[in-house]
């Protein structure tokens, strides 16, 4: 049995996670159609399809897609962004939450609010939507995607100097973290590395 099974909605995540956990046995399930369908609304049929696939998977499961994360969690998976949101709540607000897909905003906001609530505090969230950058990811130009995210976040941080940390809400955005750390001393949180570090020590 694998140490961890990951459900993705983009093929590019497979190599990224294999690099993060070279000593672990990872299994990957890639379903880009789930994200495409979820972006127009989470139907009962899609919810059942996702749930059935996760429930049929033995061992621990991690869902790397924020948009379908809530459904995956209800089926027993760990949402990739949950450990990251817990870290953000530990740091405190205001939190700049960066995302490129509008379908990410609601689940990410709810999860961050939940993480703060567990610490008995209200979340102060500053959303930074960057929808114009998503086509770069879809077209496979991830270096440009990450570079443009870093540039726009840096500009936004200059206008919000009291920000406590930056949350890159989608796993696909993780490559912007290192670029941002060259231009800001603030914690920049990306979900893949935090999730892997949190989950793999728990494997049996």
pLDDT in tens, 107-159: 899 999 999 999 999 999 999 999 999 999 999 999 999 999 999 999 999 99
* Confidence tier at 13 by pLDDT (50, 70, 90): confident
How many structural domains does the chain have? Answer: 2
- pLDDT tops 60 at residue 165: yes
Q: Examine the domain organization and report whether 13 and 102 are in the same domain.
A: no
Report the pLDDT value the prediction gives residue 204, as an integer from 0 to 100.
40
Q: Examine the domain organization and report whether 103 and 170 are in the same domain.
A: yes
3-class secondary-structure state, position 140: coil
Q: Examine the domain organization and report whether 87 and 178 are in the same domain.
A: yes
Q: What is the mean pLDDT of residues 191-195?
A: 91
* Confidence tier at 2 by pLDDT (50, 70, 90): confident
Q: Examine the domain organization and report whether 61 and 97 are in the same domain.
A: no
Measuring CA to CA, which residue among 132, 133, 128, 17 is closest to residue 65?
17
pLDDT digit string, tens, across residues 48-81: 999 999 999 998 999 999 889 899 999 999 999 9
What is the rounded distance in angstroms from the CA atom of residue 201 to the CA atom of residue 203?
A: 6
Report the pLDDT value the prediction gives residue 44, as an integer from 0 to 100.
93
Q: What is the mean pLDDT of residues 18-47?
A: 92
Q: Examine the domain organization and report whether 173 and 97 are in the same domain.
A: yes
> 124: domain CATH number?
3.40.50.1860
**Which domain does 51 fall in, by range?**
4-79+196-202
Q: Examine the domain organization and report whether 66 and 101 are in the same domain.
A: no
Q: Examine the domain organization and report whether 182 and 157 are in the same domain.
A: yes
* End-to-end CA gap in the chain: 10
Q: Examine the domain organization and report whether 88 and 140 are in the same domain.
A: yes
Q: Examine the domain organization and report whether 187 and 87 are in the same domain.
A: yes
Number of other residues whose CB lies within 10 A of the CB of residue 25: 12
Q: Examine the domain organization and report whether 183 and 116 are in the same domain.
A: yes
The answer to whether 30 touches 11, Cβ cutoff 8 Å, is yes
- pLDDT tops 60 at residue 203: no
Compare 2 and 96 and report the one with higher pLDDT: 96
Report the pLDDT value the prediction gives residue 16, as an integer from 0 to 100.
86
């Amino acid at each position: 049995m694998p140490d961890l099974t990951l459900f993705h909605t983009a093929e590019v995540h497979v190599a990224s996670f294999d690099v993060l956990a070279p000593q672990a046995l990872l299994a990957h399930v890639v379903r880009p159609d789930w994200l495409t369908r979820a972006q127009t609304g989470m139907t009962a049929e899609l919810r059942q399809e996702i749930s059935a696939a996760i429930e049929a998977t033995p061992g621990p499961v991690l869902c790397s897609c924020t948009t379908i994360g809530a459904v995956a969690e209800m089926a027993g998976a760990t949402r990739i962004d949950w450990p990251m949101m817990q870290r953000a709540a530990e740091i405190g607000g205001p939190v700049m939450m960066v995302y490129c897909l509008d379908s990410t905003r609601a689940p990410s906001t709810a999860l961050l609010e939940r993480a703060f609530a567990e610490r008995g505090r209200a979340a102060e969230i500053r959303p930074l939507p960057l929808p114009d950058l998503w086509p770069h990811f879809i077209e496979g130009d991830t270096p440009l995607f990450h570079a443009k995210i870093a540039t726009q976040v840096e500009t936004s941080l200059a206008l919000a100097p009291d920000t406590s940390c930056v949350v890159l809400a989608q796993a696909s955005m993780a490559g912007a973290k290192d670029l941002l750390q060259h231009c800001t001393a603030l914690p920049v949180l990306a979900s893949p590395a935090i999730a892997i570090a949190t989950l793999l020590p728990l494997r049996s």
